[in-house]
Amino acid sequence: MTDSNKNIFYILMFFAMIGWGGSWVNVKILSSYINEYAVMFFRYIITAITMIPIMLVLRKKFTIDKKSFFLVIVTSIILVAYMKYFFLGTKLGTASLGGAFVTTLIPINTFLILALLGSKKIEKKDYFALLLGAIGVLTMLNVWGANFDEIFVVHNLYFILASILWPLLTIVSSKATNISPIVFTFYMYIVTSLMSMFFMDFSTIAYEKFDYIFYINLFAITIFASTFANTIFFLGIEKLGAANVSSFIFLVPFAAITLSAIFLKENITISIIIGTIMTIIAVKILNNIKLYKKKKIEQ
């Protein structure tokens, strides 16, 4: 890939991460119109439909084997649970805390789960990173200055559950080695939208209250945060490599914090900023992520 093409992909990756961070704001706003299962249904059915032309352009086959489809069902169940706690935590709490807390805690929990399963070996540097990450999480929750009643609130529990469920989804989906990640995600979205229908009552949805704010946020969370962002992420891994793409993930919590301050007028505390930075450093150490590469000197 030429340098100009790489630069284009870097720009697209930047906007993709903005989309992911913005999804916390979108959910916070949508929560005043519909419940969590309606959000799931509308988000994933629209995303799945808009993925079809992309898959055709990329010449992805729609075939799926039995093992992959079984994994699709398992991951869809986990995704429903994740979205439920993602939604409730954001509705009852703040999008800024959720976006910073969950997105930085997910890679740490992923590392811990893989270590418990024996897939990861904990080295000396990892103990320091885990300690730093733990302090960062506690700082985000403002344990140093808040009362325990303010810390052990239900939305913080929802955020913790969400940060555990997503690593499980990632680990299970990684077992689907016989299918393209985009195709796997396409079927996962379809199954998730169908599952969410079992918990929905379409007659209770107040369609007359849907205004331009609702549709803008629905568009943002489906087309921008899901279809566009996921496609760019998967293509980025193929074109740039997982190592280069992983560094962009660090933009997500800051995007969530910034957009929450702009659109939701949330008060961004210094504890959230400091805690986020600490957990990002911990994630960088745990996953050996390099934010830049040293250029080789030509002789």
pTM above 0.85, yes or no: yes
Mapped onto helix, strand or coil, the DSSP state of residue 61 is: coil
Residue 102 forms part of a structural domain: yes
Print the domain residue range for 144: 3-286
CA torsion angle for 118, 122, 126, 132 (degrees, to 10)?
A: 60
Residue 34 lies inside a defined structural domain of this protein: yes
Confidence (pLDDT) at 146: 63
The answer to whether residue 58 is domain-embedded is yes
Judge whether 88 lies within some domain.
Answer: yes
CB 264 within 8 A of CB 26: no
Note whether residue 299 is domain-resident: no
pLDDT along the chain (299 residues), means of 10: 76 95 97 97 97 95 96 98 97 94 93 90 91 93 73 88 96 93 96 96 94 98 96 86 79 95 93 94 83 49
Q: Which residues contact 119 (CB under 8 A, 6 or more apart)?
A: none
CA distance 6 to 9: 5
pLDDT of residue 147: 65
Residue 299: per-residue pLDDT: 40
Q: Is residue 295 part of a domain?
A: no
Residue 199 domain-assigned?
A: yes
- Number of domain units in the chain: 1
Quick one: tokens of 11?
Answer: 């720009």
Contact 125, 283 (CB under 8 A): no
